[in-house]
A and B are shown apart, each in its own frame.
Chain A
Amino acid sequence: GDSVTQMEGPVTLSEEAFLTINCTYTATGYPSLFWYVQYPGEGLQLLLKATKADDKGSNKGFEATYRKETTSFHLEKGSVQVSDSAVYFCALTMNTGNQFYFGTGTSLTVIP
């Protein structure tokens, strides 16, 4: 079935370090892919998305490229800040949008 596998955490980085959180997917067709972020004590909010192969989603300095050949959607940021400390979830939905499949989440802590 459709699923998402993402890099386990927790991840601890120093401020201004480069961030990569890996995400790969399994899907029977061509899904839309998402990264959600969950700040402490809050619900999930959409960070970025890509709806077809080779699309790049970007927001707040974060980027992810939809790679069909490697079935991946890795999240990157060139220089993290303390305020980026949160849990990040990779997710997919198929064209019907019936269900969303989430990864297990990766906790990121950025230290000054």
Chain B
Amino acid sequence: DADVTQTPRNRITKTGKRIMLECSQTKGHDRMYWYRQDPGLGLRLIYYSFDVKDINKGEISDGYSVSRQAQAKFSLSLESAIPNQTALYFCATSQFRPGASEQFFGPGTRLTVL
């Protein structure tokens, strides 16, 4: 089974709808992240969380919110979706170790907002 899973894998929705993307991990990592990927822009950080009670905004948090329901679960919400939120969304996890941290990514959710 995959260590980092995302649901759904694909979603088409309409402008103004509320959408939730979910991420679960079995790696036991404390840190979880949400990114979006757009062509030519690489990955941009939306939100990150270092434990259940810790939530931090990333580079592009406007229009998004998150919830860390448990150590293993981190969900991303779009309260009122708009077309320019059409993108590929990735969840990632990491466990801090000095000099050795790396991120582990889920398979992504392709979101289309019409």
Interface residues of A (CB under 8 A from B): 32, 34, 36, 42-46, 49, 51-52, 89, 93, 95-100, 102-105
Q: Is the CB of A103 within 8 A of B108?
A: no
A46: B residues at CB distance < 8 A: 102-104
Residues of chain B at interface, number, CB under 8 A: 27
**Residue in A32, A43, A104 whose CB lies within 8 Å of B101:** A32
B94: A residues at CB distance < 8 A: 97, 100
Q: Is the CB of B99 within 8 A of A95?
A: yes
Interface residues of B (CB under 8 A from A): 4, 31, 33, 40-43, 45, 48, 50, 58, 90, 92, 94, 96-108
B58: A residues at CB distance < 8 A: 99
A44: B residues at CB distance < 8 A: 43, 90, 92, 103, 105
| Smallest CB separation, A34 vs chain B (Å) | 6
CB nearest to B108 among chain A residues: A43
A97: B residues at CB distance < 8 A: 31, 94, 96-98, 101
B45: A residues at CB distance < 8 A: 99-100
- Given contacts A43-B90, A43-B108, whether A34 and B102 have CB atoms under 8 Å apart is yes
| Listed A/B pairs (14) with beta-carbon separation below 8 Å | A42-B107, A43-B106, A45-B105, A46-B104, A93-B101, A97-B96, A99-B45, A99-B58, A100-B33, A100-B45, A100-B94, A100-B103, A104-B41, A105-B42
B40: A residues at CB distance < 8 A: 104
- Give the complex CA separation of A42 and B104 in angstroms: 12
Q: Is the CB of A32 within 8 A of B100?
A: yes
| Smallest CB separation, B25 vs chain A (Å) | 12
Query: Which residue of A43, A44, A100 has the most chain B CB atoms within 10 A of its CB atom?
Result: A43
- Give the complex CA separation of A105 and B98 in angstroms: 26
- Give the complex CA separation of A32 and B98 in angstroms: 10
B99: A residues at CB distance < 8 A: 32, 51-52, 95
B105: A residues at CB distance < 8 A: 36, 43-45
- Give the complex CA separation of A36 and B101 in angstroms: 13
A45: B residues at CB distance < 8 A: 105
